[in-house]
Amino acid sequence: MYYNYNVMKYGTDERVTEILKNLGGLKNLKSVDACITRLRLTVFDRSKVNDQGLMAMGASGIVGSSEVMQVIFGAEADILKTKINKLRKGNS
């Protein structure tokens, strides 16, 4: 079984918090979805997104340079989407 170092280091909830910081925070997210390996995002301000920080959190790549982007997190993308959207609903 494959274990991502950052999940082991941070735990899932702490990891989501760190990923959100690198996405510019909850208020920077217009929409969050996922496919098998990618977190699909629309952000309000792309300049608030820290690509290097996302890569440090285990992303294997980032596609898109505008407000519409995909962050490749592998099989955990759907889990991250669910946790982020629960936080978004709690803040609406």
Cα–Cα distance between 52 and 77 in angstroms, integer?
A: 18
Q: Which of 35, 56, 63, 75 is catalytic?
A: 35
Main-chain phi, psi angles of 58, to 5 degrees: 110, 0
Cα–Cα distance between 72 and 40 in angstroms, integer?
A: 9
Tokens 């820290």 belong to which residue?
Answer: 50
CA distances from 4 to 8, 9, 33, 73 (A): 7, 9, 21, 10
For residue 35, indicate whether it is catalytic: yes
- The residues annotated with a catalytic role in the active site are 35
